[in-house]
Every structure is written in structure tokens, then in C-alpha cells.
Amino acid sequence: MYFFRTRLFGVATAAAITLAGGLTGSSVLANTTKVDLSAAILGDTSIAADARQFYLNRNYEPLWVGTENAPRASALIDALRNSPEQGLPAAKYRIAELEAALRKAREGDGSKTEIMATRIFLDYTQDLSSGVLEPIKIDREIAVKPPRRSELALLEAIAKSSPSGFFRALVPKHPEYTHLLNEKTRLERLIGQGGFGDPVPSVTMKPGTSSKHVIALRSRLSRMGYGDLGVDPAYDETVISAVKAFQEEYGIKVDGVVGPGTLKVLNTPVKSRLKQVLVNLERERWMNRERGRRHIVVNLANFSFNLYDNNRVSFSSNTVIGKVSKDRTPEFHDEMTHMVVNPTWHVPRSITGKEYLPLLKKDPGFLARRNMVIVGRNGRTVNPYNVNYSRYNARNFPYNIKQRPSKRNALGLVKFMFPNKYNIYLHDTPSKSLFNRDVRAFSHGCVRVEKPFDFAYKLLERQTANPQGAFHSWLDTGREQYVNLETPVPVYLDYRTAFQGETGKMNYRNDIYGRDKTIFDALSKAGVALDPVQG
């Protein structure tokens, strides 16, 4: 229903809508009676049920029009004017039109203005507190459900609260949101000053060399915030240190060498970074909820996840995620309820038909070499040499395949379950070498964990005095063991391409799945501007 959200810091000024002959000092809306407002609301079927209930509860007393409501209306106008600061679509809120309507309301029936102000208020407050867009409507792989607030509760709160205090309290409180706002301000200031400067020439530069291109590199890095690097043509330790810091913050292999990959990221325009910040502000609004004293955030774009305890990272690990061309890992939230030690891999039907059936047609013996078996519909194991594979294709193959527990199992020796309709989970893997890659998108959609045993110990530490011993006692049986977590842990599969790093500076990541572009295009269509103009 709603597609935009906003942020607000300024203190509402009653003078904002005082204008010529303004609202504040006059007896406005003498002709706006409760009867007028009740008739207007009851006669407009497009008004939401919560708003109808709100006005019924207050016997149709206006909230926005009238001299006594001028401070509240003024605070709303101030909030709307400040909406671009939050990366919100100011044009959606019809600020000038609302101001004019509030001024004109004193000349006659103000019921239409009252309804207009309430609609704009609800649009703005929902946008600010839970996001401009409905994620699933713009990309079916973004199955995040933003926390929608009760419209009745919002209206009741503004009616009872200090107006300016109410709007300030709506701003998402998570530190990441504040960091993104600060970065937005920094980038906008840089844009006004010429951005990151001239692009660096597409020439590989290495430590120990000297050229005019190094001067361009120094200039670009200085503009990007890596210190005053001067104009020396030498690729010395000062440059090496700045390049390594840049590579760390942008998810590039840290080697101090400016090669093609580093150059591509280095020459990304400042406006592209601002787009990323606007997109990630929206993502943060989608997450504007209490996340749990203990919770897990998987950042797909960073190929990593963090376990948080009391808002501090208590464990982290690199990951491998779904392939870019297909099998992209979706975004959603759920609860981890248990782990499975020595798991059996029940091969998904899509993999069975598309990948394994062609192999079976060539060599049924490959199953035994991989510790796999064919299972019929009755659940019984079938001899792979007794099946006429030529009769089947990916759509009609009637058998299932499973891989028994072992170190070579595709799921490794443990998987971490948060049951969901996507059949996505975290798990170990025998393919450890993939964690040495910078871009780790190789799975069929599930999330592979680099340090699964350590993660298991951490999860178990709250329910056993010896988590490591308990885990290995299950592991040593060689049999599949289900281990319930005494307290389920919220899991957030997220996709953050701009986030605060360990040094406190903003980190950026490549948009490997193309989701940033999808979100920014939708935000832009909704009215979010790269170079917002106030009011």
C-alpha cells in the first residue's frame, strides 16, 4: 500500500506555516464543524478503517486544522520539508499543496484539508518507520517483511505527543541507519565540491614504481577520504597504505596493487555511491524492528555473517552464497531452531533432474563413489543399475537421491536449520578452497559456512557447560543427530552493499545480484531524488 519512507531531525517551527495571514494567530476553521468532518469521512470510502476509527474515537475533532492544531500542522510541514535528508520522496507528500490548503482552510470548510493532511501524515510516517517500498513487489527474491505500524496507533500518538518529539522518535534508531545518514551527508557535500575528482588512468600501478599516474591515484584517494597524500609520483609506503585501506573497505583483495579490479571500483562515480547509500537506507528501514538480544545477520553481498549478542558481534564467518546466474540466495527473516550433526543430504528435485540424471545416464556407478543412493517413492533404496534412465527427463524422473553422512557429504558435517519455504539453511562444506576466493557465489542457494564447528560451539554455549565436547560426542557417532536450540535465534538473510566497517568508515560492496539497481529504480520512480530539492 505504501511505497515511501522518510527521516526527520529538525525542530518544528510554528512559523513554518505562518505565512501571510497564516494559521497561527487567527481563529481558523470556524466553519469546520464536527458534522462537516464526519460527513466527509463517512462519505469517502477510500479512507482507511484505522483513520475512520481514530476520528470516531475523538468525536470527529480535527487533528490538523484550527488554531489550536497549528503547532501540530507546522511540525508536520517541517517533517515533510526535511524528508529528503532521510532519502525519502518529498514530492510524494505534496508539501506546497498542503501548506496552501491549510492556509485556505480558515476561509471555509476545512474537512478536505483535514483528510488530506491525515493521508500525507500516514504516508510519511509509514515511509519513515518501515520503508518506501514493498520489497516483494519489486523483486520476488527480496522476501523481507517490513514492520508496518498501526495507523490508528500513529494517529493516537501524534494526537497525544509533543509533535516535534513524535517525529524525531520515528527515525530508525539502529546505529547503521545513523552511519548511512552521515555518509549520505558526506557524499552530497563531495558532489557539491566536484566529487572524487578525475578518474585514475587505467594503468596497473605497483609498489616501488613511479609515474604521473601515481599523482592521479594520490589525488583520487585523497578526495575519497584517505588523507592528504600529496603530489609525489612515487608509489611509496604512504600510497600502499592508502590503497590497502581502500581495498579493505571495498571488499577487494588486499595486496596494495592497483590492478583492473581495484581501478574499476576506484573510478566508480560518487553519485553511484550515493545511490548505494539511499538503497541501503531503505533496507535499514525494512529492518526497523527489535532484532533480538541474540541474532544472526547474513550479509549476502559481503559473503559473511555475524552472530550478535547484546548488539555486539560475538562470532563471524565467511560464507559462500548462491550463484549469480541462477540459484541466487533470497532475502528473508526466520528463526534458527536446530542443527543437524552428520546430516544426510536429500538432493533437491531441481538438482536431481537437471544435474544428476544426465550423469546417471552415462554412469550409474558414480552414486556409490559419492556415497549416494537412489530412493523410490516408497522410501526404499533402489539399485541404480536396475533403472532404465532413458525413459526419464528432468520433469518425470520418479526417484529421489540422497547422500549419506560423511566428510564428503555436500553439506559437510553439520547444518543449521531455520525451516522456510525456500529450503535455505547454513551448512558446512567439503569444498573449503572456495573460501579463498574474493567473490564467493557458487552454491545452489544455501549458505556455506567457513567455520561451522566454531559456530556450533557458540550456539551451544548457552545450553551446555561443554559445548565443544557435546558437539563432538554427537559427531563421533557418525549418525545423523538432531540438536534443538533451547532458544530459537532470529536469522536475517540480508544484502547490504553499504555498511559501517570495523574501522568506523563506510564499506561498499559490489551489487552482485543486481538488487541495488532494482531498488534504486523503484525508489526513483517513487520520487526519491539523488539531488533532492527541499520542499
Q: Choose from 11-15, 61-65, 112-116, 330-334 the range with maximum mean pLDDT.
A: 330-334
CATH number of the domain located at residue range(s) 196-268 in this protein: 1.10.101.10
| Structure confidence at residue 18 (pLDDT) | 39
**Pairing, β 426-427 against β 414-417:** antiparallel
Q: Determine the angle formed by the axes of helices 111-130 and 34-42, rounding to 10 degrees.
A: 60
pLDDT above 70: percentage of residues in the chain: 92
Residue 250 dihedral angles phi and psi, to the nearest 5°: -115, 15
H/E stretch holding 336 reads strand 332-341
Across 109-129, average pLDDT = 94
Tell me the average pLDDT of the chain. 92
Domain ranges of the chain: 14-178, 196-268, 290-343+411-496, 345-404
Question: What's the confidence (pLDDT) of residue 24?
Answer: 42
Tens digits of residue pLDDT in 379-434 = 999 999 999 999 999 999 999 999 999 999 999 999 999 999 999 999 999 999 99
pLDDT at 7: 32
Q: What pLDDT is stored for residue 40 in this prediction?
A: 87
Cell of 94: 505534496
pLDDT number for residue 110: 87
C-alpha cell at 441: 557465489
pLDDT at 75 over 70: yes
Nearest to 5 by CA among 201, 114, 148: 148
pLDDT at 535 over 90: no
What's the angle, vertex CA 299, arms to CA 295 and CA 300, rounded to 5?
Answer: 135
40, amino acid identity? A
Mean pLDDT computed over 354-363: 94
pTM: 0.90
Across residues 315-325, what is the average pLDDT?
Answer: 98
In sequence order, the 6+-apart residues with CB closer than 8 A to the CB of 462 are 486, 487
Mean pLDDT, rounded, for 445-467:
98
Q: Of 302, 256, 243, 273, whose CA–CA distance to 438 is shortest?
A: 302
Give the rounded percent of residues in the chain with a pLDDT score beyond 90. Answer: 86
Q: CA-to-CA distance for 404 and 380, rounded, in angstroms?
A: 14
- Residue 130: per-residue pLDDT: 96
Mean predicted confidence (pLDDT) in 287-301: 96
Question: What value does the mean pLDDT take over residues 137-155?
Answer: 96
Query: What is residue 341's predicted lDDT score, i.e. its pLDDT?
Result: 99
| pLDDT at 333 > cutoff 80 | yes
Closest to 340 (Cα-Cα) out of 484, 493, 491: 484
CATH code for the structural domain at 290-343+411-496: 2.40.440.10
Distance of alpha carbon 430 from alpha carbon 461, whole angstroms: 25
Provide the pLDDT for residue 358.
95
- Weakest mean pLDDT among 99-108, 201-210, 405-414: 99-108
Q: What positions carry a catalytic annotation?
A: 427, 446
Strands 426-427 and 447-449: parallel
Residue 248 CA from chain centroid, whole number: 21
List, for residues 471-504, the tens digit of each pLDDT value.
999 999 999 999 999 999 999 999 999 999 988 9
Using CA atoms, how far apart are residues 295 and 350, in angstroms rounded to an integer? 31
pLDDT range class, residue 32, cuts 50, 70, 90: low
Mean pLDDT for the stretch of residues 251-273: 97
pLDDT at 44: 84
